[in-house]
């Protein structure tokens, strides 16, 4: 039996458990830092496979490590699991019309139920391979909550949990099958808190100092800043406390939340400093006091290209998931459920990937049936952010994409929630586990490759991981 076939059999032996786990977590649909049932389900399932669990790592109750050591324990291989959901995306499974299970409730609109269960499956299959072949090595499944919130991996990395890990593999549900060389951007978010003086807005406005005015002036200043920052940067904001609902009271307290993004951590920190300077100016103009509380920060993610080649080769060996006619029908129905303008935008984006001449044919069966090759020269940035970037600054890390939804699927939508508990989603999850397992085995067999990957990391991080968050910032368990 060849290595690929052996991996396929090992994954198949535990696939039913992984699908059950994915369904459980999908049903729980727990938000960031509140994934109590989801984490417990993963812990229970991994303990039954003989792993030793350390729950509540890095001062996060729903974060954990699950470890299985064979022989000398070297090399140490990590798999990253996520299991948090998103607010407002409740939806019935595998249904192509909007039907929330609980109106306004949460749902797995980013497929983290599949992500976590797929990582679980890869960790277990890799362990089974070590045991069956009497090989040395350590497999660690990292339970990483709150990726959709303030994150957890940066806190886990800061606490040193990745220091002795030789490499880490993960995946993310997508609509393409690929190992992308593109990077995600760094992000930092903070609450800007303004305090002024309340007063009668009609009778004694001169005695008031408006915190709301300060927020408004901060917005004006940041809008002028937008012209003078790099094209790849982003600045977002939202009011979390506008100071009340009475217009005849000068608002004495207001809070506005800002997030800044940029391709590199250094660029992100520089931009954040400029935003805080604007906040200081707004406070000065309005006679108010300002303080800010950093709520989150992720480093930029760039795949370790040495290991990305291994993952890409394994993906090519397994190929795309094998779709049925029922899968194609669900994908087609789901694609048509998007608004017309969204569909047009999707078609334009897909034309750039597949070419105009094949687009009509592809749209009749809108599931990715190909493997898009890794292109190490594609150094562009995606505008999203992920705390996987922090793992990538601590140990060589690669993230795989496997199709779990229709071509052009829009993330963070009810459609994505429906796909996350469908045959399409489960097939993609199992294929991802197969690829990650084979990649881990191929990597552990080549010590020189691991050393090469570590040298690549050394050029990136200068020899150590530096958390983008100040040391005093703790996981915002109750406050995010």
CATH code assigned at 272: 3.30.70.360
Give the number of other CB atoms < 10 A from CB of residue 269: 15
220 and 121, same structural domain? no
Longest dimension (CA), the chain: 87
Q: Quick one: 242 and 286 in the same domain?
A: yes
Domain that holds residue 276: 186-295
> What 8-state DSSP symbol labels residue 289?
E
Please indicate, yes or no, if residue 373 is contained in any of the structural domains. yes
Give the residue from 295, 323, 346 where a domain finishes.
295
What CATH number should be reported for the domain holding residue 99? 3.40.630.10
Inside any domain, residue 468: no
Please check whether residues 11 and 134 belong to one and the same domain.
Answer: yes
Side-by-side strand order, sheet with 137-143: 52-55, 64-70, 137-143, 76-81, 167-174, 397-403
Spatial contact of 10 and 129, defined as CB atoms under 8 Å apart: yes
Does one domain contain both 197 and 249? Answer: yes
Domain boundary among 295, 327, 354: 295
180 & 191 share domain? no
Q: Does residue 75 have a cis bond before it (omega within 30 degrees)?
A: yes
Length in residues, the chain: 480
Residues 152 and 213 in one domain: no
User: Would residue 473 count as lying in a domain?
Assistant: no
Domain count, the chain: 2
CA–CA distances in Å: residue 179 to residues 111, 171, 211, 262, 302: 18, 9, 47, 22, 11
The rounded distance, in Å, linking the Cα atoms of 354 and 358 is: 6
Q: Does the residue 173 lie in any domain?
A: yes
45 and 178 together in one domain? yes
In a domain, 193, yes or no: yes
3-state secondary structure of 335: helix
Asked if residue 323 and residue 457 are part of one domain, the reply reads yes
Euclidean distance between CA atoms 375 and 355, whole angstroms:
18
Answer whether residue 441 is part of any domain: yes
CA angle 119, 50, 42 (to 5 degrees): 40
Cα gap 341→392, rounded to integer Å = 37
Residue 43 lies in a domain: yes
- The answer to whether residues 239 and 312 belong to one domain is no
Whether residue 208 sits in one domain with residue 222: yes
Indicate whether 338 belongs to any domain: yes
**Same-domain pairing of 117 and 191:** no
Nearest in space to 307 (alpha carbons), one of 203, 392, 412, 382: 392
The residues near 418 (Cβ < 8 Å, ≥ 6 apart) are 91, 92, 93, 94, 95, 96, 334
Q: What is the pLDDT along the chain (480 residues), one digit of tens a residue?
A: 799 999 999 999 999 999 999 999 999 999 999 999 999 999 999 999 999 999 999 999 999 999 999 999 999 999 999 999 999 999 999 999 999 999 999 999 999 999 999 999 999 999 999 999 999 999 999 999 999 999 999 999 999 999 999 999 999 999 999 999 999 999 999 999 999 999 999 999 999 999 999 999 999 999 999 999 999 999 999 999 999 999 999 999 999 999 999 999 999 999 999 999 999 999 999 999 999 999 999 999 999 999 999 999 999 999 999 999 999 999 999 999 999 999 999 999 999 888 888 788 888 899 999 999 999 999 888 888 999 999 999 999 999 999 999 999 999 999 999 999 999 999 999 999 999 999 999 999 999 999 999 999 999 999 999 999 999 999 999 877
Spatial neighbors of 79 by CB under 8 A, at least 6 apart, are 119, 120, 122, 123, 126, 139, 140, 141, 142, 168, 169, 170, 436, 440
Given 254, 269, 295, the domain boundary residue is 295
Based on the domain organization, do 177 and 196 belong to the same domain?
no
DSSP state of 410: P
């Amino acid at each position: 039996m060849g290595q690929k076939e052996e991996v396929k059999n090992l994954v198949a032996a535990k696939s039913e458990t992984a699908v059950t786990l994915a369904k459980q977590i999908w049903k729980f649909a727990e938000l960031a830092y509140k994934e109590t049932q989801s984490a417990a389900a993963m812990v229970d399932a991994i303990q039954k496979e003989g792993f030793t669990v350390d729950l509540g790592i890095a001062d996060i109750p729903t974060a954990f490590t699950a470890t299985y050591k064979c022989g000398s324990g070297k090399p140490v291989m990590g798999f990253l699991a996520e299991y948090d959901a998103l607010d407002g995306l409740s939806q019935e499974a595998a249904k192509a019309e909007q039907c929330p299970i609980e109106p306004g409730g949460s749902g797995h609109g980013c497929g983290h139920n599949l992500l976590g269960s797929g990582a679980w499956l890869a960790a277990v299959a890799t362990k089974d391979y070590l045991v069956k072949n009497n090989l040395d090595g350590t497999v660690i499944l990292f339970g990483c909550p709150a990726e959709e919130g303030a994150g957890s991996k940066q806190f886990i990395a800061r606490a040193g949990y990745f220091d002795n890990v030789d490499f880490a593999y993960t995946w993310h549900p997508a609509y393409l099958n690929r190992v992308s060389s593109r990077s995600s951007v760094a992000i930092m978010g903070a609450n800007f808190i303004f305090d002024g003086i309340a007063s009668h807005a009609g009778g004694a406005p001169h005695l008031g100092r408006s915190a709301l005015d300060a927020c408004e002036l901060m917005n004006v200043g940041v809008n002028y800043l937008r012209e003078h920052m790099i094209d790849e940067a982003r600045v977002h904001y939202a009011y979390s406390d506008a100071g009340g609902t009475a217009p005849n009271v000068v608002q004495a307290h207001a809070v506005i939340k800002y997030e800044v993004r940029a391709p590199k951590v250094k660029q992100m920190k520089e931009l954040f400093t400029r935003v805080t300077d604007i906040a200081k100016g707004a406070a000065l103009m309005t006679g108010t006091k300002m303080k800010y509380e950093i709520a989150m920060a992720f480093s930029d993610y760039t795949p370790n290209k040495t290991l990305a080649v291994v993952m890409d080769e394994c993906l090519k060996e397994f190929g795309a998931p094998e779709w049925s006619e029922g899968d194609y029908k669900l994908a087609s129905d789901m694609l048509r459920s998007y608004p017309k303008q969204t569909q047009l935008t999707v078609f334009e984006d897909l034309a750039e990937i597949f070419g105009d001449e094949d687009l009509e044919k592809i749209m009749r069966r809108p599931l990715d049936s190909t493997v898009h090759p890794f292109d190490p020269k594609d150094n562009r940035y995606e505008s999203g952010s992920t705390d996987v970037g922090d793992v990538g600054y601590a140990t060589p890390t690669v993230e795989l994409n496997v199709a779990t939804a229709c071509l052009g699927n829009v993330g963070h939508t009810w459609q994505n929630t429906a796909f996350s508990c469908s045959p399409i989603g489960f097939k993609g999850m199992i294929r991802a586990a197969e690829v990650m397992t084979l990649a881990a085995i191929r990597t552990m067999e080549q010590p020189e490759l691991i050393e090469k990957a570590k040298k690549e990391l050394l050029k990136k991080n200068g020899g150590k991981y530096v958390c983008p968050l100040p040391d005093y910032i703790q996981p915002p368990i109750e406050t995010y």
